[in-house]
Amino acid sequence: MTEVDVAIVGGGVAGLATAAEIALAGKSVCVLERHPRVGMETSTHNSGVIHAGLYYPPGSLKARLCVEGRDRLYAFCAAHGVPHRRTGKLVLASDHSEIPALEALFHVGRTNGVELEMVDGAFVRAREPHAHAGPALWSPSTGIVSAETLVHTLRSLAASRDVAILPGTPLMGAEVRAGAVVLSTPREEIAAALVINAAGLYADEVSALMGGESFRIYPARGEYAELVWSKRAMVNGLIYPVPHKPGHSLGVHIVPSVDGAVLIGPTIRYQEDKDDYEKDRLALEDFLEPATRLLPAVSLADLRLGGSGIRAKLCPPTESFADFMIRFDTRVPNLFHVAGIDSPGLTSCLAIAREVARAIG
């Protein structure tokens, strides 16, 4: 039987960053990942945005860890050669009725310590000539990152610190024996002094399997369209609408990716299946109205269907906000949850890792 100080269930950005951080303190760590490769779910099925921290309730983990994580992520990407760009972001009011919501967002962001500026149509036209030119919020510290490269870089960093990364290794069972948790996998048993549940969409199932507390992950699918190649030059940076339900979604937005594509999305739809990315996909026509609210000159011929992703939400459709769950389980003392890591989870991953390392000592 293999023995480790810490076993992490889930090889997404939160799990990998946490593994690297804990290993730096000299602990023996392994990462169990059910897929053939790490980072195959939410970590790489998203917009690839480095968020500034303007959307999240002051005092929440999402607000604090987003701001800390943003700065740490920019530094990490620069140090490790991860493709990224500080593009800045415009949040556009579609008409004057949205100005109060824009101002409220400004005050929340400033309370969180985010650099923001209320700007007018002339500012918007100078930065984004093809965007709807009206009152807007300018966030200079927002950017984009290659999520795929970030995953591989975190994996390499963890491995360089002697973390055992075990792809194709689903958790089959768990039992507390003599103060340790014995994890059963298809190949072996692993005895861990502490288990960190970073299983993303399956974090609730991992908790139940280990006899931990009951909570629910709500899968929420987000779908994307893209601008055709000939229209990509219409966009310079990130362009967002004013979110109507910030706890659920930031609204369909325009995101230039580091590889040159321009994404339009994501939409949001709560669903039961945790691995269904394709059933009943939206038609291309469904993206036209939200796209033209931001880029009025876009036509249906300028769009093509893109990919999709599934967020692991703790927030049900009937509520407006749920914070990250980063804490010890209330039933099993050897179990620590890193769950509900939806947006801004990618931005926050390095700060989440630091938070977990501090909490477990």
Q: Is the pLDDT of residue 182 over 60?
A: yes
Q: What are the residues facing 182 on neighbouring strands?
A: 175, 191
Q: Where are the domains of the chain?
A: 2-44+149-217+321-360, 85-140+218-313
Distance CA 28, CA 21 (A): 11
Half-sphere exposure of 43 (CA within 13 A, CB side): 28
Work out the number of other CB atoms within 10 angstroms of the CB of residue 162.
11
Work out the number of other CB atoms within 10 angstroms of the CB of residue 158.
27
pTM of the model: 0.97
Tell me 57's DSSP state.
P
Query: Which of helix, strand or coil describes residue 206?
Result: helix
Query: How confident is the model over 43-62, as a mean pLDDT?
Result: 97
Q: Which of 272, 162, 267 is nearest to 222 (CA)?
A: 267
Distance CA 264, CA 226 (A): 5
Query: Which of helix, strand or coil describes residue 46?
Result: coil
Render 224-271 in DSSP notation, one character per residue: EEEE-GGGGGG--SEEEEPPSSTTT---SEEEE-TTS-EEEE---EE-
| pLDDT computed for residue 179 by the predictor | 84
Q: What is the largest CA-CA distance in the chain?
A: 68
- pLDDT above 90: percentage of residues in the chain: 95
Q: Is the pLDDT of residue 297 over 60?
A: yes
Copy the structure tokens of residue 247: 């706890």
Q: pLDDT tens for residues 263-281?
A: 999 999 999 999 999 999 9
Copy the structure tokens of residue 310: 């599934």
| pLDDT computed for residue 265 by the predictor | 97
CATH no., domain 85-140+218-313: 3.30.9.10
By DSSP bridging, strand 84-85 and strand 253-256 are unpaired
| pLDDT computed for residue 282 by the predictor | 97
| pLDDT computed for residue 245 by the predictor | 63
- What is the Cα Rg of the chain in Å? 21
| pLDDT computed for residue 177 by the predictor | 86
Work out the number of other CB atoms within 10 angstroms of the CB of residue 6.
24
Query: Which of helix, strand or coil describes residue 316?
Result: coil
Residue 337 corresponds to which amino acid? H
Residue 181 corresponds to which amino acid? V
Work out the number of other CB atoms within 10 angstroms of the CB of residue 103.
14
Residues in CB range of 274: below 8 A, 6 or more apart: 201, 202, 217, 219, 310
2-44+149-217+321-360 matches 85-140+218-313 in fold: no
Q: Is 56 left (phi over 0), alpha (psi -120 to 50) or beta?
A: beta
Copy the structure tokens of residue 345: 């989870």
Query: How confident is the model over 176-199, as a mean pLDDT?
Result: 94
Q: With beta carbons less than 8 A apart as the criterion, state whether 85 and 255 touch.
A: no
| Terminal-to-terminal C-alpha distance of the chain | 25
Is 177 or 145 the better-scoring residue by pLDDT?
A: 145
Work out the number of other CB atoms within 10 angstroms of the CB of residue 129.
11
Distance CA 288, CA 330 (A): 47
Q: Is the pLDDT of residue 40 over 70?
A: yes
Q: Which of 291, 340, 293, 336 is nearest to 314 (CA)?
A: 340
Copy the structure tokens of residue 111: 């309370």
Copy the structure tokens of residue 198: 């970073």
Residue 247 — pLDDT band, cuts 50, 70, 90?
low
CATH no., domain 2-44+149-217+321-360: 3.50.50.60
Q: pLDDT tens for residues 83-112?
A: 999 999 999 999 999 999 999 999 999 999
| pLDDT computed for residue 250 by the predictor | 87
